[in-house]
Chain A
Amino acid sequence: MRFQFIHAADLHIDSPFAALGAKDAGVAATFAAAGRKAVEALIEETIASGARFLVIAGDVFDGDWKDVSTGLFFARQLGKLERAGVRTYLIKGNHDAENVMSRRLDYPPGVHLFETRKGQTALIEDLRVALHGRSFADRAVPADFLAGYAQPRKGWLNIGVLHTSLDGSAGHDPYAPCTVQDLARFGYDYWALGHIHAASVVSQEPWVVYPGNIQGRSPRETGPKGAMRVTVEDGRIVAVEPMILDAARWALARAELGGLEDEATIASAIDAALAAAHAQSDGRPLAVRLTLTGVTSAHARLMARAEEWRDEARALGFRLAEDCWVESLRVETSAPLAVVSHDPDALDVPGLLTATAQDPAFLTDIAELVASVAGKAPPGVLEALAARTTADWASRARDLLLGAR
C-alpha cells in the first residue's frame, strides 16, 4: 500500500512580519497577506496531492495573539480538509499553549488534537498508522514530557509528533530538550517535529524532520518555506520531500564593493547582488536586506549617503520586479587603511577625527545620545540600536563625517 501524508509546523498564523520600511502600503499589504496565503496553500496542496492526513507539529498560532478571527480562519481551513476527507493531527506548541484564543477553538470532528496531560496515541486503522503525540499545556514543560509517549505499535507505521528544540538549537529557547538518540530509542518510524523555523532532516534512521515554518516573517527567515511531503509504501517511509508553500520571500544580499570607487560600478555591483537574490525568489514578492561589504575608498561617501543609496537600491529592485523590495541597506564596508598622523595639530583631518573618535569623553557623549533617544522610544524598539558598542558608533560617526565633508 502506498500513500502520502503532509508534515507541517510553526504556522504562526497572523503573526506580524518584521518591518519592511515600506512607505508604500501596497508592498506592506502584499507581504502581510502572504501569511494566510501560505496556510491556504498548505490546505490546497494537501488536498490536491491526495495526501491521506496532515500532521501539524505545534505553533499554529502566536503566543500573544488573541484575535478570534485568526482561529476561525484556521478552523475554516481545516473544514476544507474535513470535506475533502483528509484527517488532521495536531499538537499545541509553546506558542499555542500561551494562546488564549486557541483554547476555546472548536475544530471540525475530523481533527485530532492531542491531549496535554499525557502522551496519547491516535490510530488510523485503514492505513495502519499510529500517531503518538502530546500538546503543551503551558510554557513550562515537565521534565518527563517525552516519557509520556507510548511504545510503538508493532507492524504499524509509528509517527511521533513533538514540539521541541532538540538539544537547544542556536538562537532558540530550549523547549522539551532531548537528543536525536533519545528519540531514536522510541523505535518510531518518523518524528514529526516542530519549533525550529529552518527546515532540516535531522536524521533518516529513524526519520527526524523539521519542516520549518511555512512562511518567512523576517530577514532571519530567508529562502523557500513550506512543509514536508512524506511517502509511505508498505508501511515504510520511502521519501521525504519539501513542499514549497510560501507566498513571499525574504533574502539577504551582499554586494561586495572591494576596490570599487565610482558610483556607476557600485550601482552595478548592487544591481548584480539584487538580481542574484531575486533569481532565488521563484517569482514571489521578495524583501531583500542588502549589505554592502568590502574595503573601498568610497566607504565614507557610502556612509554619508546611505539613505540615498538605499533609495537607489530600491529603484534597482523595482527594475527587477515590481514586487522586489529592498527592506534595508546596511553599509558594512570599510575604508582602506590610511597612514594617519596622530599629531592633532597637523591639519590632518582624518587623523584628527580618528584620534578624537577614540577619546573616552566622546564615547561618553555617544552613550548619552543613545540613552536620550532610547528613553523616548517604546520598549524593545531600539534594542538593535543599544546593542551596538559606543566604539562602533564612534567609528561610524567618523566615517559619516569623512564622507560628509
Chain B
Amino acid sequence: MRIERLDLAPYGRFSDRRLTFSPTAALHVVLGANEAGKTTTLEAISDLLFGFPHGTAKYGFQHDQQLLRVGGSLAFADGTRLDVVRRKGRLNTLMDATGRVVADEPLIRAMAGIDREAFASEFGLTSRQLRRGGESLLAAGGKLAETLAAGSSSLSALSAAQKALGEQADALFTPRRAGSKPFYLALERHNDAAKALKAAVVDPSEWKAAETALEEAKLHGLDLRDRHRALSAAVARRKRAQRVRTKLAALAQTAERLAALGALPDLPATTLTQARDALAADVTHRKEGERLTAEDIEAARALADLSVNEKLIAAKTAVEALTRQIGAAENFERDLPHRLAEEEEARLQLDAIARKLGVSGAAALLAAQPTDAELARAGERVKQRERAQEKRAEALRQRGEAQEKLARLDAPRAGVVSDPSRLKRRLESFDAALEDAKALDRDRANLTRDARALAEAALALDPAVADLDALARAALPEEAELARRAEIEKATEQALRGLRDKLGEARRKLAAQEADLAKLETLGSGATRADWEAARTRREAAFDRLAATLDGPAGLREERFEAVRGLTLAADALAERALVDADRAARLQGARDELAKRRAEVAGLETVVAEAEARHAHEVEASRALWAPSGVAPHSPAKMAGWRRSVTNLLIRRAELETRRAGLDALAAQVEAARVTLAAWLTEAGVTFEGPFIALHHSARDRLKEMEAAWLAAQQVEIARAEVEKTLAGFTGALAELDATEATVRRDWPAAMARLGLRPEAAPEEAQAALAAWGEVGVPREKLRVAADRIEKIRDGLAAFEAEAAAAVAAAAPDLAGFAGQQVAAQLTLRLAAAEKAAEERGRLTREGAARAARRDAMESMRAALGQTLANARTLLGAEDDMQLEAALAAQATRAELAGAEAALRRDLLDIGDGLDEAALRAEQAEFDPASLEQEIAEAEQAQARLWEDYKAANEAETAAEGRLKALAAGRDAVGAARERAEAAGEIADIAESWLLRAAAAKLAARAIERHRAAAQDPLIARAGELFALATGGSFVGLGVDFDADDQPVLVGRREDGKVVKPEGLSEGALDQLYLSLRLALLERRAGEAIPFIGDDLLASFDDERTSRALAMLAEFGAGRQTILFTHHARVAELARKLPRDVDVLEM
C-alpha cells in the first residue's frame, strides 16, 4: 500500500493542506521546521488508516471536533486504489469525495490485523527509538534469537514479557528451596498448621487419662481433709484446758475473799454513793477555806509596800511629748558642725573668685555680680569678634587659590584648534565608496578563486585544456557531428570486433585441429601407403642384394639374408599396421584435409580483418581530422562528445567570469576616483598618507577622531576659566560685608566690658577669662545660702526643746532642775513608766481581795447542806463519826468489787470454754498434765500445719485436673488448625498454578522467539546484511552468524577482509545502523500488503556522512515499500536530493 496523497482539511492547525507523494519515489522526505505540523501530519496518517480515536481528538484544537477531516489516496499492491475522507465518529467514518459512506473492508484487509498501536510501533521509528534499539542490541550481546527479537517491536515486546513473567515466576517458586518465596512460605505455613493440628487434637486416651487424674485427685483431697479434722479436734481440747486453767483458779480465790468480808448491811448503791460524795466534798471545802485566808494576808502585805508618784502621772502628756523629741534634738546636735563647715568652704571659694576678678572679698563680689543677661550679652560680643576674624582669614585663603587656578588656565597652549565638524561631514560622504571598495576586494577574491577552479577543471579534462582562452577562440567540432562520428566509429569497430572474434574463433579451431592431428599422428604408427611402398622397395632391393650373394661367402649370405628378413618383417609390420590403422589413417587423412580447408578459411578471414581494420583506421583518422583546427589531441569520438559537453560548460562559466571581471574593473575605477578625493581630505586634515582606499579611509577616520578629541579639550578649558573668574568676583563682596560687621562689634565693646569689671580696651581673651570667672560664682554662692539657712533652723529647734524640758521639770521633778534637756527627758520617761506600773498593781490586789470574800461566803452555805447528808449516812451505817463512816463505806466497796470480779470470771469461762459448764471444764482439766500440755499442743499444731499444706496442694491439684478436663472438653481449636492447614494448602495450589502459568508462558515466549529465529534467520540476515553494508558505506559487507563460547549462535558484522565484529565491538552509530537494518529487513519479511514505513526525525543524531548512507539504505528499502521520512533538518533533505535515486522531497 502506498499513500499517494494526504489531505488535512480541516485538521490540526491546517484548514486545507494537501501533501502529494510521488508514486515512483524510492524515498519521501517530508521537511518541516518544528511546529510546522510534522507531528500533526504523522497523527493524521494514523487517523486516516484507523479512524479518529474516541474522545477529544488530539489535533482538533482549532476546529470543531465533528468537522475534522483527513483524506487520502491509497494505492494497494493489487492495483486497486482507495480515495477516501475520514471523519470523526464511531461508525461509517470513511467516505468518498462526495461524502458517501465507503466500506472500510479494503483498508482493514490491507492492514491485516495491524492496529493503530502496532502501526506506530512496528512501522514507525523515531531517533530515540532507534538509539534504544541500538542499546537493546548491545544488551542482547549478539545472541541471535534475542537480537532478532530486539529488531522487531512485537518480538521485543514478547521478549520483555518473557523476562517479566520469568521473574514473576521465579519470585513465586523455584525448585530449589528458598525460604522467602511465597510457595515455601505457604508450605511452611501448611506444615506448621499440620503440626499444630496434631498437637491440638484431643484424642480419647488423653481424655481418659485426664478423667482418671481428676478422680484420683479428688479422693486424695478427701482423705487429707478427714485427717486434718481429727487432729484439729485434739488440739482444740488441749488448748481449751490450758485456756481455762487460770480462770478456774481465780474464781476459787474470789469466793474465799468474799467469805472473809463477813456480813454487811445491804444498802442501795445510790445511798452509798451520796454518802461517799458528801464526805469527799466536805474535805474539799475545808481545805479551800484555809487557802483563801493565806492569800488575804499576802495581799495586804503587798499593798502596804506599794508607792505611786501621782504628779508625774498627771504630767504624762508633757513627758511623752518630750520623749518623742529626743531623736530630733540628737539629730540637730549632730548636723550643726557639718553645716558650719559647708558655710565656711563656700565662703573661701567665693574669696578665691573675687581675687581672680580683682574684687576685695566674697561680699564685694556678690554685690558686684552682673546679671545672667549681662553676662550673655558680653559673651556674644566676644564670639562676634572671633567669628569675624576667622571668616576674613578663610576668604583670603580661597581668593588666593582661585587666583592661582586662573593663572594656570591662562598658561599658553600649543597649536590652534579648529572645529572638525565640516571635515566629519565630508568623510561621511565616503561611506558608499567604502562599501564599494570592500565589495571590490571580496568579489575580486571570489573571481580569482572561481577562475582558478575553472582552470583546474579545464586541466582535469582528458585531454587537458591548458589554455581555455585559446580554446574559446578555436573552432571546435559540433556535438552532433561528434555523435555521428561516434556512431560510425562504433559501427566500424563493432564490425571489426565481430570479424576479429570470428578470426579468433577460426584460429582457435585451427589450433585445436592441429593439436588433434598431432595427437592422431603420435598415437598411431603413421604407416602410410607411401611408407609401406617404400619398405617393400627396400625389401626388394635387399632381395636383389641377397640374390647377388647366393654364391658368395656364407657370412655375407647370412648377413644379407638377415637384412632381407629384417626388412621383410618391417614391411610386414608396416603392412599389418597399415591394415590395422586403415580407419585411423583414413581419419588422419580426413583431418589433414579439414586442416587444409581451415587454414584457407583463416587466411581468408585474415584478409577480411585487415580490410576492416583499414576501414576502421580510416574512420578514426577522419574523426581525428575534425580536431585538427583546434589543435586538440582527441580520444574516441564517444569520449570526446562528453569532453565537448564539459568544454561547453566550462566556456559558459568562463564567459560568466569575464562578465564579472568587466563589472569589477568598472567598480575599481570608481573606487580609485574616491581614493584621490580622500587623499585631498587627508591633506586638508594635516596628514600625508599613501595607500589603497580602505587604508586611507581608516587613516582618515583615526585623524578625525584625534581632531574631535582636541576640539573637545579646548572647549572644556574655556568653561573652567569662566567659572574661576566668577568665584573671584564673589570674594570682594564678602570682604566688604565682614568690615561692616566688625565695626558694629567694636562700637558695643566698652559697655560690655564695663559690666564685666574690665577696661573698655580689654582684649577678647581678657573678656573670655572674666566671663569664665563670673561663671564660677553661681555654685559656691548657692552653697553659702543653703548652709546659712539650715544653721538658723537647727539653732531655733534646740532652743524650743530645752524650754519644754524645763517646764516638765518644774511640774513633776524639781530634783532634775539644772540638767540638760535630753537627760531630763530620759529620766522623766523612766520615772513615768515606774509610776504607772505601781498604780496598776494596786488595782489588781484590790480586785482579787473582793473575789475571795465572795467565794468564802458561797462555801459556808454549801457546807451547811452537806452536814445533813453526812448525819443520815452515819445513822444508816452505824458510824459514830466521819472516820467510822469512811471505814464502813470502804468495806461496802470491797464486797461489790469482788462480786463483780466473780461474775466476769464466769462470763469469760463461758466464752472460752466452748460452751462447757464449770464442772465439765474442771473434769477436763483432770485429763491433762498441765506441765506437758504446751508441748503437746505445739507438736499437734505442727502436724496440723503439715496436713493443711498437703490438703491445699491436693485441692489445687484437683482444680488443675478439673481445668485440664474442661480445657480438653472445650478443645484446643483443632478446627482452627485444620482450617489453617486447608487455607495453606489452598494457597500452595494457588501459588503453584500462578507460577506454572507464568513459567510456562515464559518458556513459551522463549520457544516462540527461537522458532522465529530458526525460520527467519538466514534470509533475514542476508537482507539485513545488504542494508547494513549500504548503511555503513561498505565498511561492512554484510552480516553473518558466529557461535559464542556456549555454542549459541550470535550475530556478527562481516568486513571485506573476512573479519567479523561482534555487536559489542560496534560503535554506537554502527549499532543504530544495525538495528535499523534489522528492523527494515524484518519488515520486508512481513507477509501481506506492504504497509508504509514512517521515520520521524530518524537521523537526527547522525553526521552528514552517516545520514547520506542511512538515506541510501532507506531508499534501497523504499524501492520495495513506501518509505516516508519526516525531518526538520534541511540538511537531511539536501543530502537526500543528492542520492542517485528517485527521492521525493516535500516541504510542509
A-to-B contact residues, CB < 8 Å: 14, 16-22, 28-29, 31-32, 35, 66-70, 72-73, 100-101, 103-104, 307, 328, 338-339, 341, 343-349, 352-353, 355-357, 359, 361-362, 365-366, 369-370, 372-378, 380-382, 384-385, 393-394, 396-398, 400-401, 404-405
Contacts and interface: CB of A to CB of B under 8 A. Distances in A.
Contact of B1004 (A21, A103, A356, A382): A356
Nearest to A104: B204
A69 B262 CA distance: 87
B1102 interface: no
25 contacts: A14-B978, A19-B989, A20-B983, A35-B975, A68-B204, A68-B971, A101-B204, A104-B204, A339-B113, A352-B1012, A353-B1004, A353-B1008, A356-B1004, A356-B1008, A359-B1007, A366-B1000, A376-B183, A381-B190, A396-B1000, A397-B1001, A400-B165, A400-B998, A401-B165, A405-B154, A405-B157
Interface in B171-185: 173, 175, 177, 183
B674 interface: no
Interface of B is mostly: helix
B969 interface: yes
B1005 interface: yes
Given A16-B975, A70-B974, A104-B204, 12 more contacts: A16-B982, A20-B983, A21-B983, A67-B200, A104-B208, A347-B155, A353-B1008, A356-B1007, A378-B985, A380-B985, A397-B1001, A400-B165
B983 A369 contact: no
A225 B158 CA distance: 49
Interface in B957-1010: 968-972, 974-976, 978-979, 981-990, 992-1001, 1003-1005, 1007-1008
Interface of A is mostly: helix
B160 to A, nearest CB: 8
Contacts of B190: 378, 381
B731 interface: no
Nearest to A390: B1000
A348 B118 CA distance: 11
Contacts of A380: 985
A339 B112 CA distance: 9
A162 B101 CA distance: 76
Contacts of A103: 204
A275 B657 CA distance: 94
A369 B1087 contact: no
B202 A68 contact: yes
A152 B985 CA distance: 49
A394 B154 contact: no
Contacts of A376: 173, 175, 177, 183, 187
A376 B191 CA distance: 12
B993 A385 contact: yes
Contacts of B983: 19-22, 28
B969 A362 contact: no
B1085 interface: yes
A383 B1088 CA distance: 46
B132 interface: no
Nearest to B153: A347
A360 B644 CA distance: 74
A387 to B, nearest CB: 11
B976 A19 contact: no
Contacts of B970: 69
Contacts of B995: 373
Contact of B187 (A67, A343, A377): A377
Most chain A CB neighbours (cut-off 10 Å) among B152, B984, B996: B996
A373 B995 CA distance: 9
B1085 A346 contact: yes
A67 B992 contact: no
Contacts of B1020: 345
Nearest to B993: A385
A16 B973 CA distance: 12
Contacts of B531: none
A362 B996 contact: no
B91 interface: no
Given A376-B187, A377-B988, A349 B982 contact: no
B578 interface: no
B971 A67 contact: yes
B975 A365 contact: no
B1011 A344 contact: yes
Given A369-B999, A385-B996, A405-B157, A344 B986 contact: no
B1099 to A, nearest CB: 25
Given A21-B983, A69-B970, A69-B971, A373 B173 contact: yes
Interface in B998-1046: 998-1001, 1003-1005, 1007-1008, 1011-1012, 1014-1016, 1020
A405 B1007 contact: no
Contacts of B1015: 343-345
Given A307-B994, A381-B190, A401-B1001, A72 B969 contact: yes
Given A68-B968, A382-B988, A397-B1004, A372 B175 contact: yes
Contact of A347 (B164, B200, B974, B1086): B1086
Contacts of A394: 1000, 1004
Q: Which 10 A-B pairs have the closest CB atoms?
A: A19-B986, A69-B971, A397-B1000, A16-B978, A397-B1001, A346-B1087, A356-B1008, A345-B1015, A68-B202, A67-B974
Most chain B CB neighbours (cut-off 10 Å) among A29, A343, A393, A401: A401
B1085 A393 contact: no
Nearest to B1010: A356
Contact of A393 (B206, B972, B996, B1082): B996
A344 B165 CA distance: 22
Contacts of B152: 347
A157 B1086 CA distance: 84
Nearest to B208: A104
B1087 A362 contact: no
A134 B69 CA distance: 87
